[in-house]
Amino acid sequence: MSDNEYVKIFTCPKCGKRLSIDASKQFTAGRCPSCKKRIKIPKADGQK
């Protein structure tokens, strides 16, 4: 709760690449740096 850097690990559904996203920005969509596909990123909602 005192972390000011909150990084979430997200797996690209297209290519399976693991991505680390900055959850503090609270974006819900982005582009995979590996396959360049647009992907939806699930919001952090109390889940680990």
In the complex with Zn ion, the residue whose CB is nearer, 2 or 20, is: 20
Q: Which segments within the chain are labelled E, that is strand?
A: 7-11, 18-22, 29-31, 38-40
In the complex with Zn ion, the residue whose CB is nearer, 7 or 35, is: 35
Rule CB under 5 A: is residue 10 a binding residue for Zn ion?
Answer: no
Residue from 6, 7, 9, 14 in contact with Zn ion (CB under 5 A): 14
Give the Cα separation of 41 and 10 in Å (integer).
Answer: 7
**For binding to Zn ion (CB under 5 A), which residues are involved?**
12, 14-15, 17, 32, 34-35
